Chain A
């Protein structure tokens, strides 16, 4: 997604990215990142917390307006209500990202195969 943001910026369209994976977006380098320190999948905040989602959108719009140069990161002040235990667990051995033999792992393997096939056909 950062690559798309960069392409839009290079062609004159100002962007703001709202993301949970601060290191990945900053490693690539975008104009404006509104970083929300929440689990992957909830960039706008907690499901069914409309007020939090409103605050995140408002913060991102403020950043869109206020940034004066590239690689401007602002961190949203909101915190995940159930604490930060999820941070130590994500991508750890005792909490697999994809359960062995589960749907996500199956889909991942199928995607890898599709990627290989499309690449062979010159479509990627």
Chain B
């Protein structure tokens, strides 16, 4: 079976649900491309996630919504023990899968293995996370530049982005 057309499916779904205006997904004709500057084995990689990844050990366990946050960028130390990580997100196909295994959406363990094998030079000390802003302008003008600044501060060479 071919892959799911989510743009068509969600448009039909939300029209049936009574929403009048279909969401306009971001669209560009061109796409920027940066070539690798050095072998991956010498590169520092940052993991970037929209999975609402959180730490159980944090004092503040409110969801992003409870904190009044949309589109905020934050970091999670890459050496956080796996058992300390979880996701607040309710935005996944709960009929077909779960968020019970962090590595199925925030692949920190396989990345650490790739560093140990020498496939990647190193992991950035921080993984970068951001919440869905529901505003493409906000993502382009505020959040994306903030992610870039965090990458530069950690001397990141390449990035692996995993949306949820």
Contact = CB atoms under 8 A, between A and B. Distances in A.
> Does A associate with B in a complex?
yes
Interface of A: 1-19, 21-25, 27-31, 35, 37-50, 53-54, 56-58, 60-61, 64-65, 67, 69-71, 82, 84, 86-87, 89-93, 95, 97, 103-104, 107, 110-111, 114-115, 118-119, 124
A53 B103 contact: yes
Contacts of B83: none
Given A31-B33, A124-B134, 20 more contacts: A7-B145, A13-B156, A18-B161, A23-B6, A29-B27, A29-B31, A38-B97, A42-B105, A43-B163, A45-B104, A47-B99, A57-B107, A58-B114, A58-B119, A89-B96, A91-B10, A91-B12, A107-B90, A111-B134, A114-B70
Contacts of A57: 107, 110-111, 114, 160
Nearest to A32: B33
Contact of A47 (B9, B63, B101, B111): B101
Interface of B is mostly: loop
